[in-house]
Each structure stands twice: as C-alpha cells, then as structure tokens.
A and B are shown apart, each in its own frame.
Chain A
Amino acid sequence: MAGGREIKTKIKSVQNTRKVTRALEMVSASKIRKAQDLMKASRPYARLMRQVIGHIAHANVEYKHPFLIERDTVKRVGYMVVSTDRGLCGGLNSNLFRKLLGEIREWQDKGVEVDVVCIGQKATQFFRRLKVNMVGSVTHLGEKPQIAQLIGAIKVMLDAYTEGHVDRLSLAYNDFVNTMTQKATVTPLLPLPPSAEMVTTHAWDYLYEPDAESVLEHVLTRYVESLVYQAALENLASEHAARMVAMKSASDNATNAIDSLTLIYNKARQAAITQEISEIVSGAAAV
C-alpha cells in the first residue's frame, strides 16, 4: 500500500490543527462580546470629552496651548501604533503596518524623522527591525485594557511634543466597523485639527481654576489619553473579530484538506488491493 501510512499521519496532523483553530475561533467568539461591551462603555466618556473640547475650541481662550498651535516646520513626526499582543488574527496587523509604512516612507523621503510608540507586542516586534526611532512601548494589555497601562506611553509622546522634539502626532489602530470589517486607520492627534468655524454670538471664556494654562494642559492631555484608550479598545475588538474570521476559514480549509486527503488515502488503498489481487491472480495463472 503506497504511502498509506504517511497519508494517515498527515490526516491526523491536519485534524489536530483543526482542533486548535476551532478552539481559537470559539474563544474569540466569546471574547468579542466582552470587548464590544468595553468599547461601548467607554463611548460616553469619549463623547463628552469631545463635547468639552468642542466648547473649548469655541471659547475665546486667553491662553494658546501648544497642542492647539499648528507648527510651520515639521522636522519629526510621532506615531502611536496600537497593535495586538498575539498573532493568528489574519492580516489585521500587517494591513495596519503596511498602511503606516507608506506614510512613514513619505515622511522619510521628505527628510522628516519618525518616532513611534508601540502598544502591543506585534508592533514592538515589527518596529524593532525598522529604521525608525522607537521611543516607548507597552505590551500585554490583556483582555481588559486600563487607561493606567497606557498613561506612560502617551506621556512619552506628549512630552516630546511639548518640548518640540515632535511636531506632529498621529494614532494608528484598527477601527472596529463590524465583525467582518476592520479598518486600518491613521488619524492625526496633535495639533488638534481646527474646528469648523461657528458663528460666535458673543465672545466668552471659561473661568479657570486655578489658571488657564494648567487646566488646559490637563484637559488636552486627558483628551489625547481618551482617544488612545478608545483606540486600544477598538483594536481589541478588531483583534477578536479578525481572529474569529481567520480561524473560521482555517478550520474550513482544514476540513477541505482532510476530505481530499481521505480521498487520496482511499484511492491508494483501493489501488493496493487491486494490485494485490492481480498479483495473486497472475501468480496462480503462472502455476
């Protein structure tokens, strides 16, 4: 029986692979709900934060914070890259990195240097190999990312921006559209995009306690933090969705492979039997 045993072991190994991919698929399917709940829970904060920032943009602010001022010359740009910690989630990370690399190349061609802060192991591993300046990294956010885990990485970039090392800051992550679609997104964080001009009925300003500078600093920092946190949650939901889909198609492929291997095995078995019979028959005829 030609290769019967080999085909059998192959089938076994594909079956084992299918077990793993099935399990991963089901794990992600159950985790995605939690991730989506987290995403929803943090939305009110992001919405109110945007509202407050909108008010500030319309107020006649006496103090111009560096985060609000567009700089004329750009010598160095910063990216905060949110990725997953684990692989096996289809093209999720590579799509994001490809999109980001395009932008980074463009800057580098113009002679602008690039700093990155990596959130998640995949980004850290990826950017370690590249000719970009990795200034910070956070990994292992887990299933329930907390804002406290992200503060450090964000502060690195915000400090660099305030000190003038970085003239522009963007955020790259996978936007969760729905279970089937995740969109690699790169959005500008700083300077704050100028708000749409509204007809000001009267010029007003806040009362600041204790003073405009420190309060605005605080509010704008929180604003950026909330955006990055939201991005981390979106990315987490995207990760589970992408993994679920990738593992589902992997399981389906494994099933197909098992089917065709079984067919080959049966054919080989049949051929072996036929051959054996014809050998016996011809042996008997010779006698």
Chain B
Amino acid sequence: MATTIRCDIVSAEEEIFHGNAQMVIATGEMGELGIAPRHTPLITRLKPGQVRVHLENGEEQFFYVSGGILEVQPSVVTVLADTAIRAKDIDEAAARNAKEEAERALANRSDALEVAQAQAQLAQAMAQLQALEHLRRSLKH
C-alpha cells in the first residue's frame, strides 16, 4: 500500500517541483482540495493560490500558482501551473488585440476588461500575501 503519491508541479516556462508527497493541498475552483495517495481520478481548475506539499519527511513546501490545472491519478498528482494572469475578459482582449494587429488598428479597451484585469491582479496579490504570511509563520516556529 503506497503511503506517498508522486507530485509534479510545472509551469509552461519551468519545472517547479517533483517528488513524492504524503499529501498535496491546492485551491481548486470549488474550494480547497487535499489529495492523499490513491485518490480517485480527478481533474479541476486551480484558482490563484498556494499549493502545499507535505513531503515524506514531514516537511511542508509552499508554491504559489496563479491558476492552472490539477490532475489526479491514483499514484500521481500533476499541477500544470499558469504563468500568466488569466481571466475570460483578458483572454478575449488578447484575442481582439491579435485580430486588430492583423487589421493594423488600435485596440479599444473596454471598462469591463479593466475591471476584470484589476480583479485578477487583486486575487493574485491576495494569494501571494497569504503565501508570504504562511512562510513567515512557518519560519517563526
């Protein structure tokens, strides 16, 4: 009976972590998820937040992700982290920009976009702060 689960955390631009873990905790779209070995297959989106990995030797590591995908197989957890801030409106604006560059026209940013951008940045900043707070606390002990 396996007591650890393989954990891979990567982003498109670099490999962040790989190794065995007792438990992986991440912020899913629907709430916090704790993945223990032999979890049933699961796939979900991640919200900006931290991924905590309980290592075999009882240590805990924190990683900050700005969203991404979490895939769980009974023996392996894969976190595909995003590197860019993503939100529907922002993606659409990027698409519009690409179109407009093709048409050689100037981008016309809407208010909805700015709100979405601000919200995404806020969420990211909050999560980063939380991760920092956690680190600070764990360093004190």
Within 8 A of A (CB), among B70-125: 71, 73, 78, 80, 82-86, 91-99, 101-102
Query: Quick one: which of B44, B83, B92 contacts A208, CB cutoff 8 A?
Result: B44
Please, how many angstroms separate the alpha-carbon atoms of A239 and B78 in the complex?
Answer: 32
Chain A residues near B82 (CB-CB < 8 A): 147, 222
Chain B residues near A41 (CB-CB < 8 A): 13-15
How many residue pairs, one in A and one in B, have C-beta atoms under 8 Å apart? 124
- Is B11 touching A215 in the complex (CB atoms < 8 A)? no
Chain A residues near B13 (CB-CB < 8 A): 38, 41-42, 45, 146-147
| B1 at the binding interface (Cβ < 8 Å) | no
Interface size on A, residues (CB 8 A): 45
Interface-located stretch among B35-43, B50-58, B127-135: B35-43
- Is A207 touching B98 in the complex (CB atoms < 8 A)? no
Chain A residues near B69 (CB-CB < 8 A): 52, 218-219, 222
Please, how many angstroms separate the alpha-carbon atoms of A41 and B16 in the complex?
Answer: 10
- Is A151 touching B8 in the complex (CB atoms < 8 A)? no
B residues whose Cβ falls under 8 Å from a Cβ of A:
8, 10-15, 18, 28-30, 40-45, 68-69, 71, 73, 78, 80, 82-86, 91-99, 101-102
A residues whose Cβ falls under 8 Å from a Cβ of B:
38, 41-42, 44-45, 48-49, 51-52, 55-56, 59, 117-118, 124, 134-139, 146-148, 151-153, 155-156, 159, 204-210, 214-215, 218-219, 222, 225-226, 229
